[in-house]
Amino acid sequence: MDTTERLLNVVDVEATCWDGPPPPGAVSEIIEIGLTVVDLAGGERIGRHRVLVRPVRSTVSGFCTELTGLTQAEVDTGLGFAEACRLLAAEHRAGVRPWASWGDYDRHQFTRQCAAAGAQYPFGRLHTNAKAAFTAAHGLRRRPGMDQALEIAGLPLEGRHHRGEDDAWNIAALVLDLAARGAWPTADPAHG
């Protein structure tokens, strides 16, 4: 197993959100990217990263702060979105390393935001929907949220739910649990 096959980036994003529809002219934008590097062969989480992203077409609402703990003042210190994408590619080999997220929201949010901002999509085609893999491995009818999946797997929730850095760390624990059971699929570029 070479390094590209054994290392996996687990990604979770938080985005601006509202209790109801967005204000006129506002769109949901990524404000935090959590990334945990998983060594699938070694069975461990080997890197924990957080990238704050400064929104330009929205602001952090009170609802968003209550949900994520992130404030406007905090994300104002973040990188621009295009710069964050370049950082993912340069420092985390996002374009060549397989990656996973809980569901497809994160992948779709990056696709939408890259198109809107004219930024280069930072990830390669080797994506695994960890929620779908977990659901299949456990023979569930409905896809559980990450916190429910941790309960099902008998794993603790570490940190704060709806915080990108913590959620990526917890999703990585679920990935490793699936891998230990022989239930982690190989990423398929045709289904990325």
For residue 15, the domain's CATH number is 3.30.420.10
pTM over 0.75: yes
pLDDT of residue 3: 52
- Classify residue 192: in a domain, yes or no: no
Residue found under tokens 């990325």: 192
pLDDT of residue 2: 46
- Classify residue 24: in a domain, yes or no: yes
Q: Provide the β-strand partners of residue 101.
A: 129
- Classify residue 154: in a domain, yes or no: yes
CA nearest to 100, candidates 3, 179, 181: 179
Residue 54, both tokens? 């400064």
Task: Kindly report, residue by residue over 36-59, the tens digit of the pLDDT.
Answer: 999 999 999 999 999 999 999 999
- Classify residue 28: in a domain, yes or no: yes
CA nearest to 172, candidates 51, 15, 7: 7
Residue 163, both tokens? 């915080």
What whole-number distance in Å separates Cα of residue 83 and Cα of residue 77? 13
pLDDT of residue 43: 97
What whole-number distance in Å separates Cα of residue 169 and Cα of residue 47? 9
Q: Which range marks the domain in which residue 145 is found? A: 3-187
Task: Kindly report, residue by residue over 107-131, the tens digit of the pLDDT.
Answer: 999 999 999 999 999 999 999 999 9
Packing angle, helices 105-117 and 81-92, rounded to 10: 120
- Classify residue 127: in a domain, yes or no: yes
Q: Print the SS3 string covering the chain.
A: CCHHHHEEEEEEEEECCCCCCCCCCCCCCEEEEEEEEEECCCCEEEEEEEEEECCCCCCCCHHHHHHHCCCHHHHCCCECHHHHHHHHHHHHCCCCCCEEECCCHHHHHHHHHHHHHCCCCCCCCCEEEHHHHHHHHCCCCCCCCHHHHHHHHCCCCCCCCCCHHHHHHHHHHHHHHHHHCCCCCCCCHHHC
Taking the chain (192 residues) in runs of 10, the rounded mean pLDDT of each run is: 74 98 96 98 97 98 98 98 97 96 97 96 96 98 97 98 98 98 73 43
pLDDT of residue 191: 43
Find out whether 36 and 60 touch, Cβ atoms under 8 Å: no
pLDDT of residue 5: 62
Number of domains the chain is built from = 1
Residue 62, both tokens? 């009170």
- Classify residue 130: in a domain, yes or no: yes
